[in-house]
Amino acid sequence: MKAYMALAMALSASMAADAQYWRALGKGTIGPTEVQTLFGDVVTDRLLAGGTFMWIRNEHDTLLGMGQVIWDGTRWDSLASRIEPISGNNSTAQTYWFIRFQGRLYACGDFAFPTGDGLGNRYLARLNEATEKWEPLSCPVPSSASINTLVPKLPDTVLYATGRYTELCGLPENCVFRFDGTEFHPWAPFDQIPYYDDNLVGFVFDFRGMTYITGFFRDPLSEGYACFLRWNGTSWEYVPGWGTYYGPIKEILVHDDILYVGGAFRMDNGGPGNGVASFDGEQWNSLGGGVLNTAMPGNTAVLGLQWFHDELVVCGRFMEAAGVPCSSIAKWDGQHWCSYPGELRAYWGHHPTLYELAVWRDSLYVCGTVLTVDGDTMQQVLQWTGGDAVGGCSTVGLSEAAAPPAQLQATPLPGGGQWRITFPQQGNWHLEAFNTAGQVVGRWDTGGNSMVINLGPAPPGLYFLRAISANKQQLATKILRP
């Protein structure tokens, strides 16, 4: 009890607004609430924040935000007409995230507001920036609906509303509806997904001429369930290199025609990376083995992706990136992982969970359960002020520690570029070879207990082999190309 009181007194003391590499935005929320999303709005030149909070604190005042506030560079202020908690829900309203589509600002979350005609609207909203009031989209979403997200977070020509099966605006029930800026429309491809009452769709997005969906739903191609599929224009197909269920995808980002995904998948479970991976439309790149929560590997997750100053920045729940210690945030420069200096901590010295990243006014911002940085009190929303400073970088893109335990037998053959790979038992094996940057340099399949691989023109160096059986058993070893 004394320890708790001491901690509470420390948190309520005069709060430092800056550390060596980080700056705090205000003094955080009140109560067991959180800022969970950030959005750098270039249209109004404001940083928007959302989450589960009711109140948020500036240096000298406290603001009623109801899950939505704006930062103008100096202080927090309210955003438009306040949303409300769902009727009958004693907790505060929650905003999942904000989106700009066709010049208009949208929000989605677990919130409600009256529409002025005796009806209420839930989950989805569009801001009337002339009146500063939230309004329904083409129709009010009733309390009985289960469509609660707008995706993708960076929409191009189409915005989708997703969730569980529900009717919307008089349209037959579905898990996905297309929104053109004026009206909702049915999305026929999802009609080919077998009906299951608990089908759930998260992201829907276009990439290289196909439309991808994430979530957890019945598999239209076989028995069971899927979490990641793509629509080729006429039918559904599996995403190459992605199995039935490696773990949920929490975030997606497309940059320079490459898809980046973050989530709770791990290589130990057969995933294409640990928490994060990139995809060129056919092949996956593990990005040097990704990140890991070493204290609880099963709790590893990447929740935010952001491209900043020609580097991929990721945040979430992890303690290292390719063996480099970090505080749930790291960056990938294409060959190495680097940590951000500054020790970010949550309650009782634990590593924080960082939910979201945003870029605004050419600065990087992050939000989460942060309470201190290098011992200074700095709560929940931080601005990176350290420039190009790094805490440490990996020596190679794919650390040996990132590979599963070696169990394959690799015997070099005459010629310098071939090996006989022997598996512990006969079966349908899929084998991949990675260079030290985590890039796939070869793929092979066999139905036996051995095969010969040829790395051909691959340059001399160390390579990692990963084999996956039909029942998802995963084996690995390394070879040295002379």
pLDDT in tens, the chain (482 residues): 333 333 333 333 333 456 789 999 999 999 889 999 999 999 999 999 999 999 999 999 999 999 999 999 999 999 988 787 664 445 678 999 999 999 999 999 999 888 876 678 999 999 999 999 999 999 999 888 999 999 999 998 899 999 999 999 999 999 999 999 999 999 999 999 999 999 999 999 999 999 999 999 999 988 888 899 999 999 999 998 887 667 889 999 999 999 999 999 988 878 899 999 999 998 999 999 999 998 888 889 999 999 999 999 999 999 999 989 999 999 999 989 999 999 999 988 899 999 999 999 999 999 999 999 999 999 999 999 999 899 999 875 544 444 444 467 888 887 778 888 888 888 888 888 877 656 778 889 988 888 999 887 788 877 878 788 877 666 777 787 77
Residue 90 · residue 101 · CB < 8 Å: no
Three-state secondary-structure class, residue 111 = strand
**Sign of CA pseudo-dihedral 255, 257, 258, 263:** positive
Q: Are residues 328 and 469 in the same domain?
A: no
Q: Tokens standing for 175? A: 């898990």
In this structure, is residue 2 part of a structural domain? no
Taking the C-alpha atoms of residue 417 and residue 479, their distance in angstroms, rounded to an integer, is 10
Domain that residue 439 falls in: 403-481
What is residue 427's predicted lDDT score, i.e. its pLDDT?
84
Residues 6+ apart with CB under 8 A from 15: 24, 27, 377, 378, 379
Q: Cα angle at 393 between 388 and 397, to 5 degrees?
A: 120
What is residue 57's predicted lDDT score, i.e. its pLDDT?
95
Q: Are residues 14 and 147 in the same domain?
A: yes
What is residue 472's predicted lDDT score, i.e. its pLDDT?
62
Place of tokens 């199995």: 243
Residue (of 429, 433, 414, 431) closest to 479 by Cα position: 433
Strand partners, 258: 255
Taking the C-alpha atoms of residue 71 and residue 37, their distance in angstroms, rounded to an integer, is 13
Taking the C-alpha atoms of residue 469 and residue 214, their distance in angstroms, rounded to an integer, is 24
Using CA atoms in the order 170, 175, 180, 181, what is the torsion angle rounded to 10 degrees? 80
In this structure, is residue 5 part of a structural domain? no
In this structure, is residue 4 part of a structural domain? no
Three-state secondary-structure class, residue 294 = coil
Distances (CA, A) of 30 to 12, 26, 57, 74, 296: 11, 12, 8, 19, 29
Q: Are residues 281 and 414 in the same domain?
A: no
Taking the C-alpha atoms of residue 475 and residue 454, their distance in angstroms, rounded to an integer, is 19
Three-state secondary-structure class, residue 444 = strand
What is residue 349's predicted lDDT score, i.e. its pLDDT?
86
**How many residues are listed for the chain in this entry?**
482
CB neighbours of residue 64 within 10 Å: 11
Domain boundary among 362, 397, 432: 397
Task: Strand 344-345: give its sheet, edge to edge.
Answer: 344-345, 372-373, 376-377
Q: CATH number for the domain including 437?
A: 2.60.40.3080
In this structure, is residue 382 part of a structural domain? yes
Number of domain units in the chain: 2
Q: Are residues 413 and 381 in the same domain?
A: no
Q: Are residues 374 and 422 in the same domain?
A: no
Q: Is 181 exposed, middle or buried (0-12, 13-18, 19+ CB in 10 A)?
A: middle
Element (DSSP H or E) covering residue 331: strand 329-332
In this structure, is residue 98 part of a structural domain? yes
Domain boundary among 342, 375, 397: 397
Element (DSSP H or E) covering residue 315: strand 311-317
What is residue 405's predicted lDDT score, i.e. its pLDDT?
42
Helix, strand, coil distribution of the chain in percent, nearest 5:
5, 50, 45
Q: What is the pTM of this model?
A: 0.79
Q: Are residues 38 and 69 in the same domain?
A: yes
Domain boundary among 368, 397, 426: 397
Q: Are residues 386 and 283 in the same domain?
A: yes
Q: Tokens standing for 235? A: 């039918």
Q: Are residues 107 and 62 in the same domain?
A: yes
In this structure, is residue 97 part of a structural domain? yes
In this structure, is residue 245 part of a structural domain? yes
Q: CATH number for the domain including 72?
A: 2.130.10.10
CA 186 remoteness from chain centre: 27
Residues 6+ apart with CB under 8 A from 157: none
Q: Are residues 422 and 322 in the same domain?
A: no
Q: Are residues 458 and 347 in the same domain?
A: no
Taking the C-alpha atoms of residue 267 and residue 238, their distance in angstroms, rounded to an integer, is 19
Q: Are residues 40 and 113 in the same domain?
A: yes
What is residue 436's predicted lDDT score, i.e. its pLDDT?
63
In this structure, is residue 267 part of a structural domain? yes
Q: Are residues 334 and 421 in the same domain?
A: no
Strand partners, 159: 179
